[in-house]
Amino acid sequence: MGLDKEEVSFAVKTKKSTGVMRRLGRTGLEVNVFGLGGHAYPVGNGPDCFVSPEERAQLIRYLVSSGVNYFDTTYIEEVKLLADSFKRANIKKDVVISLYGGSLVDGKWRQNLRREIEERLDILRYTYAPLFLVSVGNGEASYGDVIEVCETMMKFKEEKLAHNIGVSCHAINLFPLISRAIRETDLIDYIMIRSLTGNFSRRMKNCFPLPWNTMWGLSE
């Protein structure tokens, strides 16, 4: 659910900040418990736009100054908007961006993966991705699929195109596969999942039968 312009204005004008930081899994990165994703809402000066580019940059500037340092992106348009906001707000450091490489449901993910990361790095003018992940889809992936995509991304780590790799998942039935990959391999640095309704903690423990001190990370 998005904010309207009045709510955005209020968020920017109020000076409440958060300093609660957590380590993101095996990445070694300390990220704020609050982050920002969903960067593809309409931005511009037209009547149907959510905010103008300058208003968006003002919001990003406020969030960073308040301690928020984690930004999640998926599609390429979101990366372009985020890069534009960073430029307008003169933000050049102290942020962590998760970049998206596509989904296993795309039959051409193997051919497209390198292009996906290189295009995003070029837009941001980064030499490497602090965080890079691929979606395992919504229910059809096998354990072999999960391992294959992680091993493919691992090559980017070896080339220093990505410092940390992960997977995202919105299907509960795939959580045990990811849990198994965490237990049996040294491939996954962090994961991203959709928040679950009901008792989140209990359902998480049922889906991911791992000790909570295991070195893995969760972003939701």
Say which residues have a Cβ less than 8 Å from residue 93's Cβ, sequence separation at least 6: none
Give the Cα separation of 9 and 139 in Å (integer).
40
Show the DSSP H helices in the chain as ranges.
5-13, 53-65, 76-89, 109-124, 143-158, 175-184, 200-207
Which band of pLDDT confidence, cut at 50, 70 and 90, is reported for residue 196? Answer: low
Greater model confidence, 107 or 114:
114
**The two three-digit tokens of residue 27, written as one number:** 């990445």
**pLDDT above 90: residue 11:** no
The tens digit of pLDDT for each residue in 117-176 reads 999 999 999 999 999 999 998 778 899 999 999 999 999 999 999 999 999 988 888 888
Query: How much is the mean pLDDT over the chain?
Result: 83
Looking at residues 189-207, what average pLDDT do you find?
66
Q: How confident is the model at residue 111 (pLDDT cuts 50, 70, 90)?
A: very high
Tens of pLDDT along 203-217? 566 556 555 444 445
CA dihedral 47, 3, 193, 153 (to 10 degrees): 50
Residue with tokens 């997977």: 167
The CATH homologous superfamily to which domain 24-219 belongs is NADP-dependent oxidoreductase domain (3.20.20.100)
Q: Given phi > 0 = left and psi -120 to 50 = alpha, else beta, which region is 205?
A: alpha
- Give, rounded to a whole angstrom, the gap between the first and last alpha carbons of the chain: 15
| 13 CB burial (10 A radius; 0-12, 13-18, 19+) | exposed
At 171 the pLDDT is 82
Q: Average pLDDT in the 51-61 region?
A: 90
Task: Tell me what pLDDT residue 7 has.
Answer: 46
Better-scored residue on pLDDT, 195 or 78: 78
Q: Note the pLDDT of residue 169.
A: 87
**pLDDT: is 40 or 192 the higher one?**
192
The pTM assigned to this predicted structure is 0.83
What would the mean pLDDT of 22-50 be, rounded to a whole number?
Answer: 84
Residue 73 makes CB contacts below 8 A (sequence gap 6+) with 37, 39, 79, 82, 97, 98, 99, 100, 120
- In tens, the pLDDT along 63-78 reads 999 999 999 999 999 9
pLDDT at 96 over 50: yes
